Amino acid sequence: MKVLEKSEVKTTCFHCGEDVVTDDIIVDDKHFCCSGCKTVYEIINKNELCQYYDITNSPGINQKAKIREGKFDFLDDEKIIDKLIHFKDETQQHVIFYLPQMHCSSCIWILEHLNKINKGIIKSQVNFIKKEVTVIYDFKITSLKKVAETLTLIGYEPHINLSDVNSNKIKKYDRTKIVKLGIAGFCFGNIMMLSFPEYFSLEKLEDPALKYWFNYLNLFLSLPVFFYSASEFFISGFKGLRQRFLNIDAPIALAVLITFSRSVYEIISSTGAGYLDSMSGIVFFMLIGRYFQNRTYQSISFDRDYTSYFPLGVSVFNDDGIEKQISVADLKVGDRIKIHNDEIIPADAILFMGKATIDYSFVTGESLPIDKSIGEIVYAGGKQTSGAIELEVVKEVSQSYLTQLWNNEAFQAKKEEVKVSFIHRISRYFTYALFTVALSSATYWYFHDTTKVWSALTAVLIVACPCALLLSATFTNGNMIRILNKYKLYVKNSAVIERMANIDTIVFDKTGTITEQRKSEIVYQGQDLTTEQSQLIRSLANQSNHPLSKSVVSHLPFNKTLLVKSYKEFKGFGTSALINGNSVKMGSSEFVLNQKSLQVNSGSRVYLSINDEFLGCFIVKNSYREGLEKIVSALGSQYELKIVSGDNASEATYLKTLFGEKTEMLFDQKPEDKLNYIKNLQDQHKKVLMIGDGLNDAGALMQSDVGIAISDDTNNFSPACDAVLSGKQFSLLNELINYCRKEKVIIYASFTLSIIYNFIGLFFAVQGNLQPVIAAILMPVSSISIVLLTTGMSALYELKLKKHKA
């Protein structure tokens, strides 16, 4: 057996940095790997923008894949323009394009100088985190289509899909929480400042009138806090009570109400200064914690559907046979469409003309493409990989096989988050205990000193509100979300962390999840190949778009492609040709050796022969993610592991050695099969974590208790899910799950600390002798202590993550 190595190439492309395999493409003594990269350089150089290359070495995007002419013709359609633009007046239009190619400071620089390349562009501004560029252009000088073509010319083809016109044009940022937080903070600070004379018993030194006005100023400042900033606690608590469910917001709302009511009474009756500083402080710290917890990674969408995957425009033939671009949403049954190489098929259709080799890996999980004959149906979501084809639409986009998946109830109902949270359960018991202490205190003073009944009752409710519990939860979850983001696990919300901690079963997809996307391992078994034989085989393989042929091409050392004659491709078997007078064949054993193909469990095999002499075969296997064996070993000792894949069972034997004989493995599973499998596990009272990557996993990801989408580029498409994990961090999967399980430990620890403060406060409260200064000290000290404890413990548990990452 001999594994062929590629020859080393020292020269790299000046534009994109990839290896240069020919010295034919040179401009200004600069080498380029393809004519596309050369063209982009010439455009940048012509417009005096070569500083682009000074900021970052070889910052460009490879341009070997040529963009076909007329690809953006659909952007001349007024209906589409109206749906895509975000602003329009008499002279200009604003549009936001998503550019997944953006990756460095050079990209930002060139994209913010588009006006030098297209004079109709007034201004362009980059949002690097979201990989978006906002373009303001004069539509009397240029057009939306020309703006898109300008971006494409310099290597930043905009990603435009069906969801861009189906969603709202602008998702307005909700500033309500920020405004509430700001008002509560402003009022809290000023109320505390005005309360200093009361804290330190300075009433004898002050003018009585000044004290009077300070109290009423405090009351005035507390009104927006009570009626506006604290409104969400009252609303949430009321909704919970209507459903006969006591959530954590109900006792907090009660504490705010009691504190405010007693303070109003004391100020109006001139019997005291009240506890408005404590009330506003409670609201302020609660809002900080809630804001901190609710932050998510803004550049990722967790609720994508098929419209985020489908293209916006498609080529259609009219009655006169003329090709034009229309919106995919306007496709009708009976339309004749043209799909070019590497384009997505947007609707179920029948192949009418051309050679169809459809890659369904993202839709079904099948790792190898499927050849289709004229008259066969081609399902939506597949990618054409062998030139242009013509099809006739048989179902509208919304009625296709793939899109029907989104009608499943798993996509309609949100996962239960509120009633299952252990925070609400603790809060319920805490509330019962609080009422017991308050009523006991009131009862005691009723028989001993009736003047202290009201003071004791309200003081207990003020000082022992469960805000510390909510603060513990919000700051713990906020810290954990921040740390998980650092390790490229982006969770949808804090409830995902809690559900993750409760899982007992993990279900893996195979293709693209535990295997590397667009990557394979290839070895050669057989006679040593001479340079001439290698050149003949590579020249034949170069004629085919089949992934196995592409794997052979990438594995063999680069040589000049020879003239190929009498090329033939036999569907499902192989290819043959006459090259330099030699008959060359490659394909299945049945095709090359006239022997029946055997089912093998070690990948796909490509057999070779030259002049009917058998030389050997290439074995092409999936490339599994780094560290998979260690992950499986670690997870297998804690959870029940399963594999559910849309791919075939060709590597089942290897997976059995990796996961163990007892691991249940299902192959050739359709999207609905995966979803139903998750349902069946849940019916057995399993808490299921589903890990997948493609559209075929979307239903299962939504049905599971937690769905994690593995993405090798978190800014590109990933299906609807609860969390997105970068493929580069897959080796940390076990540690990340264990980190989520620490949530309860941190919350219980901080809650225990808050109980100590509550006991101190209750000591004064049950005596009916709670002074404002005591409440003013306990509230911020307990809040700050909890913040420090949760932050410290989160950082402490992070050390294990750092250790494994290192």
Whether pLDDT at 9 is above 50: no
- The predicted-structure confidence for 294-332, as pLDDT tens digits, reads as follows 665 455 555 555 666 677 778 888 877 788 888 787 888
Helix pair 231-242, 249-269: axis angle to 10 deg: 130
Decide if 507 contacts 705 (C-beta within 8 A).
Answer: no
For residues 736 and 767, state if they share a domain. Answer: no
Give the pLDDT band of residue 689 (cuts 50, 70, 90): very high
Whether 88 and 236 map to the same domain: the answer is no
pLDDT at 688: 94
The tokens describing 385, both together, are 């990989």
Same domain? 117 vs 37 = no
At residue 302, the pLDDT reads: 58
pLDDT of 611: 92
Kindly indicate the confidence band of residue 111, based on its pLDDT and cuts at 50, 70 and 90. Answer: confident
Q: Is residue 499 located within the same domain as residue 634?
A: yes
User: What's the pTM?
Assistant: 0.71
First to last CA, the chain: 36
Encode pLDDT of 324-376 as tens digits: 888 787 888 888 988 887 788 888 888 888 888 887 766 665 666 777 888 88
Q: Does 681 score more than 60 pLDDT?
A: yes
Confidence of residue 183 (pLDDT cuts 50, 70, 90): very high
**387 and 428 fall within a common domain:** no
**Mean pLDDT confidence for 201-219:** 70
Asked if the structure places residue 171 within a domain, the reply is: no
Per-residue confidence band for 563, with pLDDT thresholds at 50, 70 and 90: confident
| Same structural domain, 642 and 505 | yes
Residue 534 and residue 6 in contact, taking contact as beta carbons nearer than 8 Å: no
Q: Is the pLDDT of residue 525 over 50?
A: yes
Q: What is the pLDDT of residues 532-548, one digit of tens each?
A: 999 899 889 888 767 77
Q: Are residues 466 and 557 in the same domain?
A: no
User: pLDDT tens digit string along 112-160?
Assistant: 888 888 889 998 888 877 788 899 999 889 999 899 888 888 888 888 8
Q: What is the CATH number of the domain that holds 681?
A: 3.40.50.1000
- Clarify whether residues 531 and 602 are in a common domain: yes
Residue 353 falls within a domain, yes or no? Answer: yes
So what's the pLDDT on residue 2? 42
Q: How many other CB atoms are there within 10 angstroms of residue 630's CB atom?
A: 12
Phi and psi of 161, rounded to 5°? -130, 175
In this prediction, residue 1 carries a pLDDT of 38
618 and 522 within one domain:
yes
**What's the mean pLDDT in 625-636?**
89
Q: What CATH number is associated with residue 389? A: 2.70.150.10
Name the DSSP class of 311: B
In whole angstroms, how large is the CA radius of gyration of the chain? Answer: 33
pLDDT over 50 at 557, yes or no: yes
* Domain assignment of residue 413, yes or no: no
Select the highest-mean-pLDDT range: 395-404, 431-440, 572-581. 572-581
Q: Residue 6: its pLDDT value, please? A: 41
462: which 2 tokens? 């003020």
Distance from C-alpha of 432 to C-alpha of 497, rounded to nearest angstrom: 27
Query: What band does 640 get if pLDDT is binned at 50, 70 and 90?
Result: very high
Per the domain annotation, does 411 fall within a domain?
no
Question: In this structure, is residue 371 part of a structural domain?
Answer: yes
- Measured between alpha carbons, how far is residue 487 from residues 245, 394, 507, 725, 777 in Å? 36, 45, 22, 9, 38
pLDDT tens digits for range 161-178: 766 665 544 455 567 888
| pLDDT of 21 | 64
Question: How open is the CA angle 271-274-279, to the nearest 5 degrees?
Answer: 165
Residue 416 included in any domain: no
pLDDT score at 461: 72
Give the domain extent around 583.
518-623
Select from 698, 718, 740 the last residue of a domain: 740
Question: Are 705 and 760 found together in one domain?
Answer: no
248-276 tens-digit pLDDT: 788 888 888 888 888 898 888 888 777 78
Query: How confident is the prediction for the chain on average, in pLDDT?
Result: 80
Q: Which two tokens stand for residue 245?
A: 């469910």
| Number of domains forming the structure of the chain | 6
pLDDT of residue 508 exceeding 90, the answer is yes
> Which of the given ranges, 317-326, 588-597, 655-664, 755-764, has the highest pLDDT on average?
655-664
State which amino acid sits at residue 610.
I
pLDDT at residue number 73: 82
Residue 482 included in any domain: no
**Which of 352, 348, 642 shows the shortest CA–CA distance to 513?**
642
Q: What is the CATH number of the domain that holds 134?
A: 3.30.70.100
Over residues 615-643, the mean pLDDT reads 89
Q: Are residues 563 and 575 in the same domain?
A: yes
The model's confidence at residue 687, banded by pLDDT at 50, 70 and 90, is very high
pLDDT given at position 505: 94
pLDDT at 242 over 60: yes
Query: 474 or 683: which carries more pLDDT confidence?
Result: 683
Q: Are residues 129 and 80 in the same domain?
A: yes
Cα–Cα distance between 478 and 155 in angstroms, integer?
Answer: 38
Per-residue confidence (pLDDT) for residue 597, from 0 to 100: 58
**64 lies in some domain:** no
- Average pLDDT of the segment spanning 11-34: 78
Residue partners of 740: CB distance under 8 A and separation at least 6: 480, 484, 497, 500, 501
- pLDDT reported for residue 770: 63
Tell me what pLDDT residue 415 has.
Answer: 53
Cβ pair 365, 510 in contact under 8 A? yes
How many degrees, rounded to 5, is the angle at CA 761 between CA 760 and CA 762?
Answer: 95
Q: What is the pLDDT of residue 263?
A: 85
Distance CA 306, CA 382 (A): 12
Query: Would you place residue 583 in the very low, low, confident or very high pLDDT band (cuts 50, 70, 90)?
Result: very high
Tokens of 802: 């750092």
Percent of the chain whose pLDDT exceeds 90: 12
